[in-house]
Structure 1
Amino acid sequence: MSIPLKVYITPFAERGVPEPAKWDCDAAKKALDVVNKIWSKAKIAFVINDCLIDKPLDMAKSARNNDKQVLDVLSLRRTKDNAVHIFLVNPIPNLSAGGGSYLDSDPEPASFVQWYGDDHANGRAWAHELGHLMSLDHVEIDYSNEKQAAQRVKNLMTAGLNAGSDLTGPQINAAKGSGLVKRFGG
């Protein structure tokens, strides 16, 4: 089963001055290879149906550190259709998240993913955001419990910036049973 993605390469601008885009469609395809490797554990695959170079989003740097606000503004710029919308943006200083998603695709399946500079980091962040669209919430870590922390730090859905890509059985089952996967024939 493949879930179609509509990818928007969306650079920022400030006061009408565009910033050079970090992402391009080739970088998106390489990051998606990482995404698909991670989600292959759940037999879920994603395919880019469209990769579009979007007009720059004119937003002050000081306003970009609110991930919900950034995603809301990006989502309002496109027409509603049956695809999952992914906005690939430049790095956002002072944003502790790798991107933003509407948990369980509510109200719509859309995410943004910021640039990290290499295919693996970009793809891992993207896979994490897709996890949110498939009903997965963050995994919290209790660092006072060393055994639990050692396991959870490797999980894809660990909150904050990390390099984990593991999925648990319950996470795989939740993703497979999510509204998003069912919508595309899962």
Structure 2
Amino acid sequence: MPIPLRIYITPFAERGALESAKWSCDTAKKAVDVVNTIWSKASIVFVIKDCLTDKPLDMAKNARNNDQRLLDVLSLRHDPDNAVHIYLLNPIENLSAGGGSYLHGDPEPASFVQWYGNDFANGRAWAHELGHLMSVDHVEIDYTNERQAAALRGNLMTKGLSVGSDLTKRQIETARGSKLVKRFGG
């Protein structure tokens, strides 16, 4: 059974001045195609239930650089339902995270994903955040261990900016056994 996603394209505003959104429902669909290609290794499929342009989030630029605070504000804007809430945002200056995730979010499992400028990068970042929602942790690479670094450099869950999309057998098992996947019949 596919996992339903409720997509909120969330433009920012500052003091009422609206910033144009980079995301659209079309770019979201293309990113989900990348997500599904990556997670097909685990036989997990995501489907867009709804794609909505949300009311602008009026938040000063210097208040956007805390991923926890940002996801708190975003996730509390909507009532719970039977879908994973995904907030698609423009790039955020000085935010080290490419996104943020609440596994046991209030009110629902939720993530935000920044715009990265192309379908693969957007989808890869989104797949990474969905990995967190499926209880898959970051991979820490010890670059002094060349063998380990070579094996993990291309992993989806590598911490920091990465282009990897590989999954280990253990990550696949963790995702398939996660509360989120089981909730939707997996």
Matches within 5 A, 1:30-69: 30-69=30-69
- Letter of the 2:55 counterpart: K
Task: Give the Cα–Cα distance (whole angstroms) in 2 for the partners of residues 57 and 185 of structure 1.
Answer: 34
> How far apart, CA to CA, are the structure 1 residues paired with 2:70 and 2:76?
10
Query: For 1:13 and 1:151, how far apart are their aligned partners in 2?
Result: 42
Counterpart position of 1:179:
179
- In the TM superposition, what is the alpha-carbon distance from 1:95 to its structure 2 partner? 1.2
- For residues 69-107 of structure 1, what are the alpha-carbon distances to aligned partners after superposition, in whole Å with 9 as ceiling and x for unaligned? 1111000101111110000000011112110001x3345
Q: Secondary structure in 2 aligned to 1:105? A: coil
TM-score by length of 2: 0.97
The number of aligned residues is 185
The 8 Å contact of residues 12 and 19 in structure 1, kept in 2 or not, is answered as: yes
Matched residues in 2 for 1:106 and 1:147: separation?
37
| 1:11 maps onto 2:11 in alignment | yes
**Separation of aligned partners in 1, 2:148 and 2:158:** 12
Counterpart of 2:104 in structure 1 is: 105
Runs of at least 5 residues in structure 2 that lack an aligned partner in the other structure? none
Q: How does 1:17-32 map to 2 (within 5 A)?
A: 17-32=17-32
Partner of 1:147: 147
- Matched residues in 2 for 1:79 and 1:49: separation? 15
1:105 and 1:132 in contact (8 A); partners too: no
- The residue aligned with 1:121 is 121
What SS is found at the alignment partner of 1:185? coil
Equivalent position of 1:76 in the other structure:
76
TM-score, normalization by structure 1: 0.97
- What residue identity is the alignment partner of 2:31? A
How far apart are the structure 2 equivalents of 1:97 and 1:157?
13
- The 4+ residue runs of structure 1 with deviation greater than 6 A are none
Give CA-to-partner distance per residue, 1:27-58, whole Å, 9 cap, x none: 00000000000000000000001000001111
Q: Could you say what secondary structure the match of 2:91 adopts? A: coil
d(CA) in 2 for partners of 1:9 and 1:155?
A: 27
Amino acid at match of 1:30: K
Q: Secondary structure of the residue that 2:88 maps to in structure 1?
A: strand
SS in 2 for 1:77: coil
Aligned equivalents of 2:122 and 2:3: distance in 1? 19
Determine the structure 2 residue equivalent to 1:90: 90
